[in-house]
Structure 1
Amino acid sequence: MKKLALHWQIIIGLVLGIVWAMLSSQMGWSEFTIDWIAPFGTIFINLLKLIAVPLVLFSVISGVANIGDPASLGRMGGKTLLAYLLTTVLAVTLGLMLVNTIKPGKLVEQDSRIDNRISYELWAGSQGYEIKDGINYLQDPEFLDKAQRISDLSRQELKEASVEDKLETAKQTKEAGPLQPLVDIVPENFFHSLTDNGLMLQIIFFALFFGISLLFIPNEKSAPVTAVVDSIMEVFLKMVDLVMRAAPFFVFALLAGVVSKMAGDDVGKVYEIFKGLGWYSLTVILGLLIMIFVVYPLILKTFTRSIPYTGFFKAMSPAQTLAFSTSSSAATLPVTMECVEDNLGVDKKITSFVLPIGATVNMDGTCLYQAVAVVFLAQLHMIDLTLGQQLTIVLTATLASIGSAAVPSAGLVMLIIVLDSVGLNPAWIAIIFPVDRILDMLRTVVNVTGDATVSSVIAQGEGMLHYPGEVDPSETFDVDSK
């Protein structure tokens, strides 16, 4: 195992987890799996949640603070950040449109989804979350027997929990004003935001405010703070790395436990879970391909005109190939810069500024995947998210992308943040884990392609784009030099 790359070890853990879950359902071992294997999966989720909040906090502060002196950014800096923000929002919106049109989570057999829904309501009640769509299956006598099989609660306790939840939801809805979502973003006590579930937007707001404030104080005052923030961020990134080294075992336990809890001793439900997973994967892949082959070329055609469709992909093919194989925007950055400069004709002054920022804040593929994943998981658990809740996904995914490290599997940490923001169970990431690696590879290609597109558009606006025409990328890309 030590000689294998980590992602292959994780894939082996995934496969073994799936095999064990199916065997466990077939042989009636689900109780053993839930009692003795699933807890290690819970530990994995707890470790990621432990790291996620401080990682986002310090990553967002670092990303904003390292933009530089706002007075020196000028027009180009503003245009760059605006362009990245717009493409990210566009990607998330596309993801939401596709997942609401295809509805991959609703293609799973109804009985399995009802069991999932009851499990969600029991989890929400135990964690103090309100039921997202205001509907409570535990109030329906028809489902109380199912709920009793899933939990240890009596019928009376289930009824009381469902009524209390519904009354609390109604009270909050009645008291909330039209601008309450905006008010909720601004914390009155930042330390309370750090310790309370579901307040991730408040943490991101504080991080953005803190980072922007650092830009407006003298460099001799801000530099020590920025250095400390950068160092702390590196520590948390190393913590992610250490946790991910144990991921093959944790992933096995997580997947085996979650599937066993959802399927019990019914092996047919295991097949239903993976049928939904297939439709989810197709939805994400369709969205990512539309971004690569439709959205970005349209942006180029609209704002540059000089770069042809095939010429753009020929120019960027080395960077896209490396992005697909490494799943890391950061590792691909030197190759991306060379492709954009030599093959697309973008001035070095543009690439040295726009592309490093893009590797930090532009995560179009990651945001699209997060939007699809959250709504898919909600559909799988019979939760109808409102437009407002889906807009929260857009906002959280967009802002959290600033803190998403440009390394493999960082998107999973950010997905925990997005799930938390809409009051859904972070442990559900285990459901989409089996296909995450291949989707991670493809969404990194989207991120890198988006960086190249934005840098070309900015260069055109600054008069620094000189497309050399059709070139052979292999002639301008020296593999050995990297």
Structure 2
Amino acid sequence: MKKNQIKVEGNKRRSCIQNIQRILHGQLLFVLTFLAVILGFIIGFGIREARPSADFIQWIGMPGDLFMRSLKMMIVPLIVTSVIHRRVNVAHNEKVMVNKIEPQDIFADLLRNIIPDNLVEATFRKTQTQFKPEIVWIEQKNIGNSSNTTADKKQTLEMVKTVGKSDGPNILGLILACMFIGIAAGKFKEKAKIFIDFFAISAEIVLQILLWFIWLTPVGVASLTAASLAGANDITETFISLGYFVLTVTLGIFFSQAILLPLIYFAFTRKNPYKHILSIKRAWLIGFSFGSSALAMPDLLHACENVNKIDKRITRFVIPLCCSSNADGSALFISAASMFIAKFSGYTLTFGNVLIIGILTTFSTLSLPAMPSASMVAVVMVLSAINIPVHEVSMLFAVEWFLDRLRTGANVESHFICAAITDHFCRRKYRLKEEDVIIYPESEMELIVN
């Protein structure tokens, strides 16, 4: 008994130390990024008064440009390794063809890219309808005074539709192909263990490299913020647009937490949603404070099992699964941020673009890295998929400290809703009664960290 008690106490101390390290690790990056935003504003406004040349602004923004390029470099490895492990711009500067493309062409390109004809090529090129000028001969009839008519051939220049390629990774095609590979590998079970382990460790390696790059965020943010402010024509308009974006995301997340999720809960359980949602207020505050739903997991488990009497067999499966693959708040932010940056950069989004943003946002939240500001990586991925420059993403870091915590709170609430609805249906199917529910004592909650 003493050995077991010592082991439990040791696990508790180790868990506490890991929690403290994780909190300090996340908060340090937040503080450095926040200071970098302030530094970028100071440098940007200071340089702006001197009316710098375009070349000077380019070199000021060079560290930020390299930071964005490093994130884009890891997009394909992140998608391939994560999706398999979990199973789950105009080319050639022909700007004229953008005006010629019809909605049906965009939808056709979407279908072609979902099923790529070359998996290797999909890592750096994608299918896109193009219009190229070609000289064609047309027959022109000349009618004279007599009954005789003559026909002449005349040269003319017409835009001919062709199926071509454009630069940039085919994200949709890679996701679907890797999902099929992962599902097929799962069918072989033990025989495919080496294959799955390879992609599992590869995913960890890619995430580690991404984490190194993420720690360069303060440098990149300061550089890009300074360059954006120094070269901006209308700073007032920029801040107004950013304010509207923050307001849009805030209202969207508020609507999701206060109305949509409670309605879903009531529709399935026929219970008062607000009474049960208020029971997770401490877990919500922890998620909001530290920007991590994983750190809120012990308190969320306590609220689910001890307050709401949800079976621990359900919570211990659903809550960790949701923490790794269910991010409602993050999905709302990624889609809104992608459309905001596209609009701010002067791009007009078509129905096909919006559809691609929605699909990519859904898949990206399923394999979102468990690291600070991971949603920003997803925003870069989505913008790259629709050929929109990612440099303006630096503006979002100015408000990331607030929106990151806001969407984390929404994620925590959605985790609870998933667990509660699952418990409701399991009770009906297996006819579980209150006395059949298994819960853990409060003392054991501290051991649940990951």
TM-score between both structures, scaled by the size of structure 1? 0.71
1:186 aligned onto 2:115: yes
1:356-395 maps to which residues of 2 (within 5 A)? 356-395=320-359
1:301-312 correspondence runs (5 A): 301-306=266-271, 308-312=272-276
- 1:156 corresponds to which residue? none
- 1:64 maps to which residue? 87
Distance 2:30 2:444 in 1: 27
Give me the whole-angstrom Cα distance separating, in 2, the residues matched to 1:207 and 1:187: 12
1:256 deviation in Å? 1.3
Corresponding position of 1:195: 124
CA distance change for structure 1 residues 326 and 448 in 2, over 3 Å: closer, same or farther? Answer: same
Distance 1:166 1:301, change over 3 A: same
SS in 2 for 1:463: helix
Contact 1:351 1:455 in 2 (8 A): yes
Cα distance change, pair 55–311 in 1 and its aligned pair in 2 (3 A): same
> Which structure 1 segments of 5+ residues have no match?
66-123, 130-160, 469-474
From the two aligned structures, give the one with the greater helix fraction.
1
Given the superposition, is the C-alpha separation of residues 363 and 466 from structure 1 closer, same or farther in structure 2, using an over 3 Å criterion? farther
- 1:251 paired residue number: 221
Residues in 2 aligned to 1:36 and 1:245: alpha-carbon distance in whole angstroms: 21
For residue 177 of structure 1, report the CA deviation from its aligned partner.
8.5
- Pair 1:332–1:53, CA change in 2 (3 A): farther
Counterpart of 2:95, as a letter, is: D
Paired residues for 1:222-237 under 5 Å? 222-237=192-207
Q: Which of 57, 61, 83 pairs up with 1:34?
A: 57
1:249 to partner: Cα distance: 1.6
C-alpha spacing 1:167/1:289, structure 2 compared with 1 (3 Å): closer
Equivalence map 1:12-23=2 (5 Å)? 12-23=35-46
For 1:166, the equivalent position in structure 2 comes to 96
Deviations along 1:201-235, one digit per CA (max 9) or x if unpaired, are 11111221122112222x21122222221211111
Deviation at 1:192, TM superposition (A): 0.8
* 1:206 alignment counterpart: 177
Partner of 1:422 in structure 2?
386
Cα distance in 2 between the residues matched to 1:460 and 1:414: 33
Partner of 2:145: none
Q: 1:213 to 1:382 in 2, by over 3 A?
A: same
Cα deviation digits, residues 227-254 of structure 1 (max 9, x gap):
2212111111111221122221221012
Separation of aligned partners in 2, 1:298 and 1:57: 36
Greater CA deviation, 197-206 or 309-318?
309-318
Aligned to 1:449: 413
Query: Deviation at 1:27?
Result: 2.4
Moved more, 346-355 or 374-383: 374-383
Structure 2 gaps, min length 5: 1-23, 126-167, 436-440
Distance 2:385 2:268 in 1: 35
Report the Cα offset of residue 353 of structure 1.
2.0
Distance (Å, rounded) in 1 between the aligned partners of 2:406 and 2:434? 26
2:301 corresponding residue in structure 1:
337
How many Å apart are 1:32 and its aligned residue?
6.2
Aligned AA (2:124) = T
Quick one: structure 1 residues 462 and 193, their matched pair in 2 at CA, closer, same or farther if it must change by over 3 Å? same
Structure 2 CA distance, aligned partners of 1:260 and 1:417? 26
Please state whether the residue corresponding to 2:80 is helix, strand or coil. Answer: helix
**Aligned-pair distance for 1:331?**
3.1
Query: Between Structure 1 and Structure 2, whose CA radius of gyration is higher?
Result: 2
Count of residue correspondences? 375
**Which residue of 2 is the match for residue 274 of structure 1?**
239
Q: Who is 2:14 aligned against?
A: none
Is the CA contact (8 Å cut-off) linking 1:61 and 1:207 kept in structure 2? Answer: yes
Q: Residue 329 of structure 1: SS of its match in structure 2?
A: coil
Match of 1:215 in 2: 186
Query: d(CA) in 2 for partners of 1:3 and 1:190?
Result: 37
CA–CA distance in structure 2, aligned partners of residues 2 and 29 of structure 1: 37
TM-score (norm 2): 0.76
- Post-superposition offset of 1:2: 11
CA–CA separation in structure 1 for the residues paired with 2:242 and 2:122: 33
Q: Quick check: 1:462 aligned with 2:448?
A: no
Contact residue 114 and residue 176 of structure 2 kept, 8 A: yes
Q: Distance in 2 between matches of 1:23 and 1:221?
A: 62
CA contact (8 A) 2:48 2:229 kept: no
Q: Which whole-Å CA distance do the structure 1 matches of 2:25 and 2:358 have between them? A: 39
CA distance, structure 2, for counterparts of residue 2 and residue 462 of structure 1: 39
The answer to whether the 8 A contact 2:225-2:394 is kept is: yes
Q: CA separation in 2, counterparts of 1:22 and 1:179?
A: 46
Q: Secondary structure in 1 aligned to 2:202?
A: helix
Stretch of structure 1 that moved more, 364-373 or 172-181? 172-181
Residue identity in the other structure for 2:279: A
Distance in 2 of aligned mates of 1:33 and 1:4: 33
